[in-house]
Structure 1
């Protein structure tokens, strides 16, 4: 049995931002924050056909995930990454039991 935790964080890009902007900020966030964060295992940035994105992050345990979430918004690279997200547009919950497919646009770790 493992204590790993999977964080699924869906989002949409702000209307004036591009996927290239996202990938650049994602690399920076990875290199400057996540790679050095204790308990980080791996991360995939994925894109749905409808234009939604999601970060799928695997943490060694619940404690590591909670510490990272609390610290990410205070880090310059985290702030730059999160500034690209459309905070006015809420993620629509997916239909329960429905299979969905995402294209991987970045893998880290």
Structure 2
């Protein structure tokens, strides 16, 4: 069941990241709330969950945005993510989905 949830979450994030910059779902996903929560309240958000899973694989939010633009590449990435989760090892490190190109483009964009 957990695999299904993870797969659907990542397929949906790919869909949202391909939308126009001002599309409401994309704005909502990229929104970072300001301020503080009440004492004892967890600061877990959907985006933080996705970022934590991506960070576990060594991917940044910018890399994910660029990777999502190619639907076939994104499908392969999600399949690899699921395999990564099942094996519990770093099985994504040897896969090349154009991430190096995306990372350098992401760095250039941030500069």
The TM-score normalised by the length of structure 2 is 0.30
Quick check: which one's helix share is greater? 2
Higher relative contact order (CA 8 A, sep 6+): 1
Q: TM-score, normalised by structure 1?
A: 0.31
Which structure shows the bigger proportion of residues in strand conformation?
1
